[in-house]
Amino acid sequence: MKIVSYFFKNQIFTASVFLSCFILLSCAQISFSLEISDDDILTDILWAKVINLNPPDRPAVGLALSGGGARGFAHVGVLDVLSSSSFPIDYISGTSMGAIIGALYSSDMAMDNIWDFGRETASRKISKDFSGLKAINLIFRDKLISPKYITEFIQKNLGTFTFENLKYPFACVAMDFKTGEKIIFNSGPVDIAVRASANLPGIFKPIEYRHRHLVDGGVVDFLPVDVAKILGAQWILASVTESEPETLPESVLFSLMQVIDIRGSLLSARAQDEADFVLKPAVGSIQTADFNKCIEAGEIGVVETNSKLKKLKKAYLTDAVNLIMRKI
């Protein structure tokens, strides 16, 4: 009766909800710590009901998107699958490329247009045969993905947005180059914050904003799980695009990129422990500046998310239903 009363008060008392409640009650009698069964029918019934609830009646979901340069385009594939499967997203946090992709999605940009961003970025790679080192050299000659291109793209697509009028609550991370302080952006103009978060040190000049000199946030918070929690998320899904260096660096700049990647992996390991579920697209062989592989990275993100979607839903349902049961 308490379960029925709970749903009735939230104005979603229907025959189908009553059926769901009966199933929940039956499950609760079997175990004090509810585990969602592998029965697809039960899972589908529960899923349909839970995703129609709003926080705090279900755990608020935060999606944390890591940095990673070109590897970060895997987040596009992750978001595409989550969106098409109606997986709830209540908050988004991002660093570097994760900040760009997260901000575009938070602005309610259509997924097709976000994929087009990847295609446009990839087309700026003169030849697929160029090594990562040559790609970095091209950056300095304004041929690959120069500050001008990034600035123009972000201003065109995000220049009219403030954090306050995004569809999804969003935050991103940058670092003060002088002090090493982590700067969390969650208010004010979105375009400046995203540019700062994706501003690779040693390649692009620090962005001056409010007496600070800002660079890529991946140096201090590669996977901003903590930032998603600050926004209000109770249940964290992390998308991680780490590197897997296979060769020794060939130049000072390439060494810098690899050091940043290694630093990011160390920070990421700690953050993953704080997440409730982790997606790890297999993009480790894609180098930070391999922007010709943006679409490849995105497709890998699709594969990873599809392969884990059933487990992801079960993990979230288990925690969501347990939250509901505790409120009864």
Say if CB 58 and CB 90 are below 8 A apart.
no
**196, 150, 149: which is closest to 177 by C-alpha?**
196
Q: Give the Cα separation of 54 and 171 in Å (integer).
A: 21
Examine residue 55 and say whether the peptide bond preceding it is cis (omega within 30 degrees of 0).
Answer: no
CA-atom Rg of the chain in angstroms: 21
DSSP helix/strand/coil, 69: helix
**DSSP3 helix / strand / coil % (the chain, rounded to 5):** 55, 10, 35
Nearest Cα to Cα of residue 73 among 294, 305, 257, 299: 294
Q: Where are the alpha helices (DSSP H) in the chain?
A: 2-9, 15-30, 40-50, 74-84, 97-106, 111-123, 132-140, 147-158, 190-197, 225-231, 252-274, 294-327
The residue from 80, 176, 216, 221 that is catalytic is 216
**Interatomic CA distance for residues 62 and 82, integer angstroms:** 13
Residue in 20, 19, 84 with CA at minimum distance from that of residue 46:
20
* 216 catalytic per annotation: yes
Report d(CA 135, CA 145) in Å as an integer.
Answer: 9
Number of Cβ within 10 Å of residue 211's Cβ equals 7
Which residues, other chains included, contact 299 with Cβ-Cβ below 8 Å and sequence gap of 6+?
77
Active-site choice (66, 93, 96, 265): 96
96 is catalytic: yes
Residue 208 dihedral angles phi and psi, to the nearest 5°: -85, 125
3-state secondary structure (DSSP) of residue 239: strand
Catalytic site positions? 96, 216
